[in-house]
Amino acid sequence: MTETTKPTGDLSRLSDDLATATATIAPFIVRVDDGTRLTASGVSLGGGFIAGASHAVESDDVSVVTADGTRHRATVVGRDEATDIAILKVEADLPAAPVVTVTPHPGELVLAVARPGDAGLTVTLGVVSQVQETQTGGTNEYIVTTDAGVYPGFSGGALVNTRGEMIGLLNRMYGRGAGVALGVPLVIRAAEAIKAHGSRRPGYLGIRTQLVALPDALRIAQSMAQSGGLLIVSVAPGSAAESAGLFLGDTLLSVNGSPLEDVNALREHLIAGDTITLQVLRGGAVSEITATVAASE
């Protein structure tokens, strides 16, 4: 009988690396069971907090099953409708998954890792197909598209690199069944907001804006590094913006101290019920205006 030897070479080393990456992230991937017929996945953030996909947690009667098979009762700390992220809490000090916040690049090898129901840990392999980048409060955020298979039950699982570090939270709803993951910086921001304030609803100011360049004289006088702001081109009657005293022609420079150099940067701060501080340029003078964000209709 001929003894089979383990193959050597680049493919064998790659295979070993992928297996090691899977073993690295596996302890932090949980099964999320909300009592419905379908289950989903989640990723431990440490301290008993778990990130999952809000659309996959239909009720507040939730339990999670950890890698060792232990079932824990969980509470829903809150949900962020804008990102479809839900944060759960269990009374167990689960360790935090290793994460990386560096924006990935198309072509990188990635693994989609989840615990979809009774199937146990399930892994698929692919590449980063596309990266959609945004910036919120000076922090780079991104949404990743991958050709790795993202099957039912994968929402809330982790997209990881070949070192086993999480780069994004899988979400089938965003990709309408395709492979999409919300980047770690976005997940962290949403998680911290939910921990601090509970469920977060998108808000509404009642303005339309467009990006404009700031005068050099203003930038020098104010020692401003930013090059642009958001010009208000319309204010809805009876809106939160009108109540706060914002006018057509005002230029918004910052919100809560974060520079406003694109429309998305403002939108990310519009959470219903929050009071925000806007730095406004009006008639060559800079002032601050506070506004209470209304709920989106």
Task: List, for residues 232-245, the tens digit of each pLDDT value.
Answer: 999 999 999 999 99
Lowest mean pLDDT among 41-50, 196-205, 251-260: 196-205
Specify the pLDDT at position 3: 56
Last residue of a domain, one of 172, 200, 228: 200
Lowest mean pLDDT among 64-73, 199-208, 232-241: 199-208
Does the pLDDT of residue 132 top 50, yes or no?
yes
Q: Is there a single domain that holds both residue 76 and residue 19? A: yes
Position 2 in a domain: no
If you average pLDDT over residues 66-91, what whole number do you get?
Answer: 92
Residue percentage of the chain with pLDDT more than 70 = 94
Average pLDDT along the chain: 88
Q: Is there a single domain that holds both residue 222 and residue 169? A: no
Q: Is there a single domain that holds both residue 271 and residue 173? A: no
Position 137 in a domain: yes
| Domain region containing 13 | 9-200
DSSP class of 36: S
Q: Is there a single domain that holds both residue 246 and residue 285? A: yes
Specify the pLDDT at position 31: 96
Position 3 in a domain: no
CATH number of residue 226's parent domain: 2.30.42.10
Rounded-to-integer distance, Cα 106 and Cα 17, Å: 20
Beta strands in 137-271 (DSSP E): 139-146, 158-160, 166-170, 179-183, 203-204, 207-213, 228-235, 251-255, 258-259
Specify the pLDDT at position 1: 47
- Ordered alpha helix ranges (H), 4-159: 10-25
Rounded-to-integer distance, Cα 30 and Cα 50, Å: 8
Q: Is there a single domain that holds both residue 80 and residue 189? A: yes
Position 1 in a domain: no
Does the pLDDT of residue 137 top 60, yes or no?
no
Domains in the chain, number: 2
Which comes out higher in pLDDT, residue 64 or 225? 64
Last residue of a domain, one of 200, 224, 252: 200
The model's pLDDT over 255-271, given as tens digits with 9 standing for 90+, comes to: 888 888 777 778 777 87
